Every structure is written in C-alpha cells, then in structure tokens.
Amino acid sequence: RAAGGAVDQLSVLPDGLIHTVLSFLPAPEVVQTCVLSQRWRSLWRSAPRISIDEQDFGISLMIERDDALEVKWARLEDFATNLLLFHDNTSSLGEFRLSSRVYNQRHVDRWIHRGIEYCPSVLIILILNYCRFKLPPVVGSNFCHLKMLRLCSVDLGSHFADLLCSACPVMEDLKLGNCEFSGNSSQVITSPTLKKLELESCVNNTGYPLVITVPSLAYLCLCYGYYEAGISLFKMDSLVRAKIYVTEYETLSQQTERELLCSLYNVTSLELVGFGAEEMLIEKSDKFPIFHNMRTLDLHGCFLDEYELYDKLEALGSFLQSAPCLEKLILKYCMFHSFSDSEWEMERKIITLHREEVKTFQCQQLKLIEVVYDHDHDHQLIGRLGRSLPDASIKLKKLERFST
C-alpha cells in the first residue's frame, strides 16, 4: 500500500484474474506470494496451474557434482511434495506439468499420482532422463476433463491405448515424444474427439502395428522413430494438415511410404520430409488416390535418392497430377545433395543428356513453385521445373545451411 492511503490495485483484482497472473510465474514464486498480505496468504493453493520444474531449483541439464545435485534435488523433493499436499483439491485443475529427471522414482510416481488426482484439463509430463520412465498405474476416471496430453520419454506400457479409448472423452490434443509402446498386445490410438496428434521419434517393438483411428483429426505430425510392424492410418476424413518426417536414420520401404500417402488423401496442406522418388513413380498396378482438397504441398529434403533428374521430375509430376487443385508447391533442398565442384561437374553431364526429354505436366491450378536452395547448382537444376510445369511461376530463395 502506497503512502497517502492509495489503493493496492493488484490486491483488489478478482481471484480468477490473479490466478491468471500467477500462472506465468515459476512455482516457487507463486508460493512466495503468500507473504505479501493476509489477502494473498492462500491464493497459491487454489492456483489452476501446478508446474514442477527442476530448472526452478537450479538443476541444470549439464553434469553437476554429486553433492550439489543432491542438495538441489532434496529442495525440489521437499517443495513438490508440500505443494501437492496442500493444494486445494475442491475443483479440477487447469494444468499439471512436470519437467524433471528421475533421481527418485518413488517421489516422481507420487507427484504424478497426486497431480492426476486433480483431474487436470492439461497434463504435461516431460521426463529428461535418457532411459524411458514407466508411468505408474492411474485411475481412468481422473482423465474425465483431460483435453491436452504431452508425454516425453515415457514407457507407455500396455494400458495406454485402452486409457485413451475409454477414459478420455474430451481429449483433443495428444503429443508423444520419444515414447515407447510396450507390452504383448496390439497398439491402438483410437479417439472420436482427438483433433491434433503428434508422434515424434517414438518406438514400437511389440510386433503389432500401431493402428491410428481418429475420425475427427484435423492435424497430424508423424516424425518417424522405429515401428517394427509399421503404422496404419484409418478414417482420416477430417484431416486438414499433415506432416510426415522420415529421419535419415529410418528408411521406410516403398510400400510403407505409398500407404502413408494414400491415407492422407483428404488433406489441404501436406508436408513431406525425407521422402524419396520411388513411391511417387508411376506404376501400372499401384496408383495414388486423387487428392481433391490439397492446396499446398511442401517437400523438404525429398528426391535425394540415386535416380536421375529426369526420373525425379517425372515422379514429382505424376504425383502433382493426382492433386488437381494444388496451388502452391514448396521445394526445400530437394533433388540433389550438396556436391563438391568435381562431383557437380560429373552430375551436370549426366543431367544434360536428358534436358530435352523432360515431360510437360498439366497442373492448371498450380500458380507458384517456391524453391529454397543452398548452392548455385541446386538453383540451376531445380529451375528446370519450369520446363515441366510451364504454367507456374517459380520463386527462388537461397539460404545458407551452415555459416562459415
């Protein structure tokens, strides 16, 4: 309170607005507000967001001395245990977030149990260890309000699929990063309400394919890890945007890449990273569906296989003709690896042999081809797209991948 009887404007705000302000602060600072005044003594207990983050206690991802780490971890254990013990549980929680390595599994299990008991709308569990953390058993009824779920470096066990199917009636957003599907049963992600799904570098060694059935899904991001028996996508009728990322460490079979593309027939915007030319080449017995809704196609690091430019352009053109409404094509670092000068001269001679054989494709709605490249020979080569797609304007953008 300022001198002269001025009103403390912050304290007269309603609790709901103060809670919103508190949600932007680290958890220790939220609790410290209890010393401000009698009015603030218990506000932290009803804050709609609980965040337990090891970085708030000076624990760094860098390797530390054992004695210093033990002291910091002891402070974190004491704080998190008391925060969850004394938090008001009369209403469901807006968000529960845990970001920490696991030095004591018993404590971490208890924190997760307690946080989930508040029936949060948003649940984020980020385990920072190299080894995956096995989720403790949870009661399905605590997920009745759950709309967003983020898990990182978690062993999902065999009960996770059933949990999504039966216990999450309003789930809309799911992201799994570096997680593992384990157990001896089929792996299924099924949800009638899920609208956004992201799988990044996950693993499935169960011997069963990961089956994804989400009829309301609008956005899919699939960054491949390792799926022993593959991935099957079903009922993607509502899908608007999709990104499929194949890392350099994971090589998909031609059949797998074609099946993935055929499952995405309804998308408006499609981004493919790391795809080759094989799955797009014309084959008499295996054609693509028609992508009637596709307006934007973004290819990043694609067509980097051993095919010659003539075959790559033909593969791309045949795929584009399956997207009659395509308006924009983006090519980022496609068609050619970065060669040394001598390698580039050899490659140019091979390409020159086919320069008069480039086939022309009719894509009436395609108005813009944006080419992002990093070397002048990429510029020259990909510019030949103008011969195959004469109705589209080509915009060139040079980017340096590495600074010198």
50, 83 in Cβ contact below 8 A?
yes
Using CA atoms, how far apart are residues 172 and 191, in angstroms rounded to an integer? 9
Quick: pLDDT tens for 79-97: 999 999 998 876 678 999 9
Tokens of 71: 């002291």
328, 367 in Cβ contact below 8 A?
yes
pLDDT band at 207 (very low <50, low <70, confident <90, very high): confident
> What is the pLDDT, as a whole number, of residue 200?
94
Measure the N-to-C terminal CA separation of the chain; round to a whole number of Å.
57
The neighbouring-strand residues paired with 133 are 154
Mean pLDDT value across the chain: 82
Instruction: Count CB atoms within 10 A of the CB of residue 57.
Output: 21
Using CA atoms, how far apart are residues 344 and 231, in angstroms rounded to an integer? 38
Question: What is the identity of the amino acid at 106?
Answer: R
* Least confident among 198-212, 220-234, 377-391: 377-391
The neighbouring-strand residues paired with 52 are 98
3-state secondary structure (DSSP) of residue 84: helix
Question: What is the identity of the amino acid at 19?
Answer: H
Tokens of 278: 């094989």
DSSP-assigned states of every residue in 25-42: S-HHHHHHGGGS-GGGTT
Question: What is the identity of the amino acid at 391?
Answer: D
> What is the pLDDT, as a whole number, of residue 357?
55
DSSP H helices, 87-212, are 105-117, 160-167
Q: Does 338 score more than 80 pLDDT?
A: no
Using CA atoms, how far apart are residues 177 and 200, in angstroms rounded to an integer? 5
Report which listed range, 105-114, 130-139, 303-312, 332-341, is most confident.
Answer: 105-114
Report which listed range, 246-250, 253-257, 319-323, 397-401, is most confident.
Answer: 319-323
pLDDT band at 1 (very low <50, low <70, confident <90, very high): very low
Between the alpha carbon of residue 220 and those of residues 102, 133, 166, the distances in Å are: 30, 25, 21
Q: Does 341 score more than 70 pLDDT?
A: no
> What is the pLDDT, as a whole number, of residue 303?
84
**Torsion, CA 166, CA 169, CA 175, CA 176, rounded to 10:** -10
> What is the pLDDT, as a whole number, of residue 351?
44
Q: Does 308 score more than 60 pLDDT?
A: yes
Quick: pLDDT tens for 214-257: 999 999 999 988 888 888 888 888 999 999 998 766 666 777 77
- Residues 60-73 have a mean pLDDT of 73
> What is the pLDDT, as a whole number, of residue 279?
66
Using CA atoms, how far apart are residues 283 and 280, in angstroms rounded to an integer? 9
- Select the more confidently predicted residue: 219 or 135: 219
> What is the pLDDT, as a whole number, of residue 212?
92
Using CA atoms, how far apart are residues 281 and 321, in angstroms rounded to an integer? 12
- Residues 161-180 have a mean pLDDT of 90
395, 368 in Cβ contact below 8 A?
yes
Residue labelled with tokens 């020159």? 352
> What is the pLDDT, as a whole number, of residue 32?
92
> What is the pLDDT, as a whole number, of residue 50?
93
Using CA atoms, how far apart are residues 331 and 370, in angstroms rounded to an integer? 6
Using CA atoms, how far apart are residues 191 and 175, in angstroms rounded to an integer? 14
Instruction: Count CB atoms within 10 A of the CB of residue 166.
Output: 11
Using CA atoms, how far apart are residues 304 and 324, in angstroms rounded to an integer? 25
> What is the pLDDT, as a whole number, of residue 271?
95
- Residues 1-23 have a mean pLDDT of 75
Question: What is the identity of the amino acid at 96?
Answer: F
Using CA atoms, how far apart are residues 80 and 68, in angstroms rounded to an integer? 19
Phi-psi region of 165 (alpha: psi -120 to 50; beta: other; left: phi over 0): alpha
- Residues 292-309 have a mean pLDDT of 87
Residue labelled with tokens 């216990």? 167
299 Cα distance to chain centroid? 17
> What is the pLDDT, as a whole number, of residue 344?
45
3-state secondary structure (DSSP) of residue 232: strand
